[in-house]
Amino acid sequence: MNTTDWKCFTIDELFIVSLTKGDIKADRIDDGSTPLVSSGETNNGIVKYITSFGDGIAKIFNGNTITLDMFGNAYYQPNDFFAVGHGRVNILIPKFKNNQYISIFLVCLINKEKYRFSYGRSVYSSVAEKIRLKLPIRNNGNPDWQWIEDYVKRNLVPKLPDKSKSVWEKCFESKPLSNNKLKLNTKEWKWFRVGTLFGNDKGTIQKCKCNSATELLQDGTDIAYIGAKKSDNGIMRYVQMEKTLVTKGNCMLFIGDGQGSVGFTLYQPKDFIGSTTLFAGYNEHLNQYNAMFLIGVLDLERYRYSYGRKYKPSETRVKLPAIKNAQGEYEPDWQWMEDYIKGLPYSGCL
């Protein structure tokens, strides 16, 4: 990619920058299927799925749009959505014929500018409008949108995992894996220590092994290197195989240290190389479905930790659905957690 002849465009040359009216409160709106977007580094900025009626004040925005929150996090929103007001989510409405391929290219460029922003310098609309993006151009000086689309299709999409490709190509099933829709009732749940869930005779907790990715790893395509971050499922880059540093997959991954992500949890289905700031937890009952349930619950405890207070799985408690075993003792109801996730829309995409 040679950017020498590319040209800079400000966001307001490419988009109309808009904000929502009013301020939807997620806990006051009924559940539904319409995304509610706020500021954040996870889940495409979506904090909840709500009814399509919203709160009767906020505007519903058309999909095929980019959102840019107050901290500089940019996401492509394929479907119609609402946005909160307090998160100052800028909605970038394209002035050109947009699609998912062009959007992902632009999102990557916008996110490259994220380092410029923080709590002290938020991305207000006036700031968002003047962010500059360098793009390939046609002979008339306008952005070469076809080149961008072709580049993404040719160089990025083929490298995606099969299930991700199906999402891009919109060849996926939105129906749940199971028609058994379970309801959450935490009153009957029981408290468990994470160290007990993953540290008894049915499982273990291991510290990951790579203490210096710069010195020990070479770029490649063999295996993922996972670091202390929540986004992209922790993947920092792909590297050459180094067998002595590999951690086995099908595990919960606890981010024990690292500014910005300490206390978050991930699920890693495949073998990987992990930073020594991570702990891998194993249990014979764990699978991709109940792992998603656990991540949702465990991440609610994340507020307790920071760069100055490291995450210790052995000391963390979590409340989970439970069932009595043959000895009359409570243990997590792994099957119920799996069944709950399988009853959710799009569970077949996991």
Tell me if 175 is assigned to some domain. no
Neighbours of 184 (CB within 10 A): 8
Same domain, 206 and 67: no
Query: In whole angstroms, how large is the CA radius of gyration of the chain?
Result: 22
pLDDT under 50: residue ranges of the chain: 201
Per-residue confidence (pLDDT) for residue 229, from 0 to 100: 85
CATH number at residue 56: 3.90.220.20
CA distances from 257 to 63, 204, 225, 318 (A): 36, 19, 16, 19
Same domain, 116 and 24: yes
Prediction pTM value:
0.60
List residues bridging with 319 in a β-sheet. 191
Same domain, 219 and 331: yes
HSE-CB of 284 using CA atoms within 13 angstroms:
3
Per-residue confidence (pLDDT) for residue 247, from 0 to 100: 95
Domain limit, last residue, from 139, 168, 197 = 168
Tell me if 180 is assigned to some domain. no
Q: How far apart are CA 166 and CA 172, in angstroms?
A: 6
CA distances from 124 to 105, 120, 131, 233, 329 (A): 22, 11, 11, 28, 54
Same domain, 333 and 205: yes
Q: Checking DSSP bridges between strand 219-226 and strand 272-274, what pairing results, if any?
A: parallel
Q: How far apart are CA 343 and CA 183, in angstroms?
A: 10
Q: Are the beta carbons of 10 and 130 closer than 8 angstroms?
A: yes
Same domain, 206 and 90: no
Q: How many domains does the chain have?
A: 2
Same domain, 131 and 193: no
Q: How far apart are CA 2 and CA 331, in angstroms?
A: 57
- Please give the distance of CA 116 from its chain centroid, rounded to a whole number: 21
Tell me if 179 is assigned to some domain. no
Same domain, 56 and 106: yes
Tell me if 178 is assigned to some domain. no
Same domain, 15 and 143: yes
Same domain, 306 and 228: yes
Domain that residue 209 falls in? 186-349
Per-residue confidence (pLDDT) for residue 163, from 0 to 100: 62
DSSP for 284-329, please give it: TT--HHHHHHHHHHHGGGGGG-BTTB---GGG-EEEE-EEE-TTS-
Segment 274-303, tens digit of pLDDT: 999 898 999 999 999 999 999 988 888 776
**E runs forming strands in 89-158:** 90-94, 132-135
Same domain, 150 and 265: no
Same domain, 299 and 335: yes
The candidate with the shortest Cα–Cα distance to 228, out of 307, 164, 329, 324, is: 307
Same domain, 144 and 12: yes
